Amino acid sequence: MDLLNTLVAKGLRRELPTRDEALAVLSTSDDDLLDVVAAAGKVRRQWFGRRVKLNYLVNLKSGLCPEDCSYCSQRLGADTGILKYTWLKPEDASKAASAGVAGGAKRVCLVASGRGPTDRDIDRVARTIEAIKEENAEVEVCACLGLLSDGQAERLRDAGVYAYSNNLNTSEATYADITTTHTYQDRVDTVRRTQEAGMSACSGLIAGMGESDEDLVDVVFALRGLDVDSVPVNFLIPFEGTPLAKEWNLTPQRALRILAMVRFVHPDAEVRLAGGREIHLRSLQPLALHLANSIFLGDYLTSEGQEGRADLDMITDAGFEVEGVETSTLPEHRRGGGCGPCGGDGAAADEGPTADEGPAAARTDLVAVRRRGAGTDLPPNA
């Protein structure tokens, strides 16, 4: 297929595809799916070999959020039955982080619900990082605390935060349909503050919220424009009790096409297979490792994931290897911020193809509220 040959050549040169090419990936047929995966896999292997980076989430504060993000089980007024608790003690967070590291995680992601941290919250996180580093000095620490104000990124950097995560989630055109309590620009500003402070920028998307192909391409191109180092690709977990509970728009095949498109647009960035992979990819998860070079191990913030041992077996059985702390994730040209000169900006988009039809039946049985790990007396999944 000429399209795939072109995209592989561009990916190996770190050249940006055109918008039409990105849209065309999303509209390929199921008959061509394995060819699409194989092509994007060539790009993935060029920059990351067969390594898979493991990341582990620690939910420092669950629920109790004043924001109204429609996709979120922690949103204002949501009745989702999730665990709700205020800030974990540093020693409890460190214990949870150690379980992830013992399972093979190279990065620990510290997450707290809310609009953004107060100065007191920054102090809490600093003490937590100190406790984590006492037990696991080499682990990368990523923080995801919401929107940052002036000076907070620098304080987090000084406390030992390597990366800061703040997802754009969806296109600027549709952002107000998903969230009204803050803006798309607020999130862009936080990504830029992260980069200006010298931290690694992590920002991604949520697919399956009813968006069009054009919306998906818009947000993925916006992330390329911001030159983020890692791109988490989440697939909507339709929690009962949220406005998007009935949005079951994804098939495993469409999820793979979305991941392939992200890889072609971000050839040398860390593409992370994130929330919802078990629900929407299901038995095709191993194929996604040919596209993404990073996954979350075990459970998510408020939902349970695949068992940690099963994650490790999946990586091994698919012919991949867990990335160790002695190996730098990003290619050398990206270390220290930015990929340097890359390809062109791409062409303007025309009318694009429509999204795939959704599955025949919603698999609500696959959504499991987290009842173990941080905030409970039960051992974590790692």
Bridge partner residues of 234 (DSSP): 206
342 assigned to active site: no
Q: Are 309 and 280 a contacting pair, CB within 8 Å?
A: no
Q: Which one of 14, 69, 124, 334 is the catalytic residue?
A: 69
- Is 231 in a helix, a strand, or coil? strand
Query: Measured in Å, how far apart are the chain's first and last C-alpha atoms?
Result: 41
Other Cβ atoms closer than 10 A to 87: 16
Rounded Cα gap, residues 358 and 215, in angstroms? 17
Rounded Cα gap, residues 71 and 226, in angstroms? 24
Q: Residue 316: its pLDDT value, please?
A: 97
From first to last of its 382 residues, what are the pLDDT tens digits of the chain?
Answer: 899 999 999 999 999 999 999 999 999 999 999 999 999 999 999 999 999 999 999 999 999 899 999 999 999 888 899 999 999 999 999 999 999 999 999 999 999 999 999 999 999 999 999 999 999 999 999 999 999 999 999 999 999 999 999 999 999 999 999 999 999 999 999 999 999 999 999 999 999 999 999 999 999 999 999 999 999 999 999 999 999 999 999 999 999 999 999 999 999 999 999 999 999 999 999 999 999 999 999 999 999 999 999 999 999 999 999 999 999 999 999 986 444 434 444 333 333 333 344 455 777 777 888 888 888 888 888 8
Q: Which one of 14, 44, 72, 144 is the catalytic residue?
A: 72
72 assigned to active site: yes
Rounded Cα gap, residues 24 and 31, in angstroms? 14
Q: Are 349 and 217 a contacting pair, CB within 8 Å?
A: yes
Q: Residue 347: its pLDDT value, please?
A: 36
Rounded Cα gap, residues 4 and 15, in angstroms? 14
Q: Which one of 14, 65, 124, 257 is the catalytic residue?
A: 65
Q: Residue 105: its pLDDT value, please?
A: 97
Q: Which one of 75, 107, 109, 334 is the catalytic residue?
A: 109
Residues whose CB is less than 8 angstroms from the CB of residue 3 and which lie 6 or more positions away in sequence, other chains included: 21, 24, 25, 28
Q: Residue 340: its pLDDT value, please?
A: 44
CA-wise closest residue to 290 among 1, 27, 13, 50: 50
Long-range contacts of 180-184 (CB under 8 A, 24+ apart): 180/68, 181/66, 181/67, 181/68, 181/69, 181/76, 181/115, 182/67, 182/115, 182/147
Distance of CA 333 to the CA centre of its chain: 22
Rounded Cα gap, residues 14 and 293, in angstroms? 16
370 assigned to active site: no
144 assigned to active site: no
Q: Which one of 44, 142, 224, 254 is the catalytic residue?
A: 142
Rounded Cα gap, residues 177 and 215, in angstroms? 12
Q: Are 13 and 343 a contacting pair, CB within 8 Å?
A: yes
Q: Which one of 75, 202, 277, 334 is the catalytic residue?
A: 202
